[in-house]
Amino acid sequence: MKKILLFGLLFTCIKPLVAQFSVRLVVADVATKKGDDIYVSGTFNNWNPKDENYKLKPFAGGRKSIVLKDVAVGNYAFKFTRGSFEKVECMADGRDITDRVLDVSSDISLELTVAGWKDDYPERPKRYSASPQVKIIDTAFKIPQLNKTRRIWIYLPKGYATGIKTYPVLYMQDGQNLFNDQTAAFGEWGVDECLDTLEKKLDRECIVIGIDNGADKRLSEYCPYDFSVKGAFVTPDTKGEGKAYTEFLVKTLKPFIDSKYRTKKGREYTFIAGSSMGGLISEYAILQYPEVFGAAGIFSPALWIAPQIYTDAESTATISLSRFYFYAGGKESSTMASDVDKMYDILRKRRNYEVERELNPLGEHKEKFWQQAFPHFYAWLMNKD
């Protein structure tokens, strides 16, 4: 009888294993530049276009291939590049291709061809699309916490120059993608045009500060914790610099903005927002500095890379109302919607937290879809939703 009970106890303690599979991607032919290195970039490596762990290796018959091991069940989007998104694959006539999709539920071996490379089809120069309300404060604003410099943008409401009003301030990550198509590699958010329109419709105005990302340092600067992606998707251990970056926003940039512009300085008028890794660091900022930020726009946050933030969300609290807006697309990574749902469930149970969630079933991990979601977020932010 004791043996039976012991066996039963052991059986109940065994956790079911998560199914993992092997994925082989073979590039059988490329239209041009056949001798160049090829990388696979996708949701599994934060769309890094030149990740040495994802470089294809020579394969039989002049082909190139890569094997991804221990891949969990789910959907993954990807494309091939030659080391940058200026050299990403495209159609034979130069048009962009939609993301390739892996539906992993068993071992997979795919043989694929690359019809063209984007740099074989030079595009017309992009136009400068920022409205007159957008200016560059500094092309090399000092970040003493990281010993770096960064370009800083500002959007001022139309009546700012001729009035005496004070305004709330929204701090946004990835500044080069917010206002100007020339500087946005994958399309801009159109924040300035959106606010120009909503200013009249909602009778609410706001200053927006855009902080450029650190390019190849973006991942570490926007992650508040040290991290390493294990398993098939191996990257070197990386030191998260997000804590120092957030200190820059709070202790250096905000005091500067408040001293130079007519701002409403209180937490109830100070907001933060961003997408992907920018969404992650925006949530971290409001959790760590609830006395500074009263609301956050968290678009498609890369929660997968920083699971510790769930613990922070459960343990930190504020005596005043903090507001969280989450957006996720149904066609992003296989876990994006569920990750956001998990965070939503944690926060909405906390005292003094107001949480909004929006899911676009057709949304992809792109600026185009964040642009579409921004007006709803702004109306919610201004309490006009």
Angle at 182 between CA 179 and CA 183, to 5 degrees: 70
Indicate if 90 and 138 belong to the same structural domain.
no
Indicate if 110 and 240 belong to the same structural domain.
no
Q: What is the pLDDT of residue 2?
A: 45
* Domain at 300, CATH number: 3.40.50.1820
- At residue 164 the predicted structure's pLDDT band, cuts being 50, 70 and 90, is very high
Indicate if 177 and 106 belong to the same structural domain.
no
Least confident of 136-150, 225-239, 273-287, 371-385: 225-239
Average pLDDT over residues 244-253: 98
Indicate if 152 and 284 belong to the same structural domain.
yes
Cβ-contact 24, 108 below 8 angstroms: yes
Using the predicted structure, report yes or no on whether residue 10 has a pLDDT greater than 90. no
Tally of CB atoms within 10 A around 229? 17
**Residue reference for tokens 């946005």:** 184
User: What is the span of the domain harbouring residue 54?
Assistant: 20-120
Indicate if 159 and 256 belong to the same structural domain.
yes
Domain-located, residue 281 = yes
* Domain at 78, CATH number: 2.60.40.10
Q: Which of 185-194, 196-205, 266-275 has the highest mean pLDDT?
A: 266-275
Average pLDDT over residues 157-176: 96
Least confident of 95-99, 137-141, 340-344, 376-380: 95-99
- At residue 75 the predicted structure's pLDDT band, cuts being 50, 70 and 90, is confident
DSSP class of residue 349 equals T
Using the predicted structure, report yes or no on whether residue 252 has a pLDDT greater than 90. yes
Mean pLDDT of the chain: 90
Total tally of structural domains belonging to the chain = 2
Q: Which of 75, 94, 120 is the last residue of a domain?
A: 120
* Span 300-325, pLDDT tens digits: 999 988 999 999 999 987 778 999 99
- At residue 234 the predicted structure's pLDDT band, cuts being 50, 70 and 90, is very low
Average pLDDT over residues 165-183: 96
Q: DSSP assignment of 98-162, as one string?
A: PPEEEEESS-EEEEEEE-EEGGGSPPPPPP----TTEEEEEEEEEETTTTEEEEEEEE--TTTTT
Using the predicted structure, report yes or no on whether residue 16 has a pLDDT greater than 70. no
Indicate if 105 and 164 belong to the same structural domain.
no
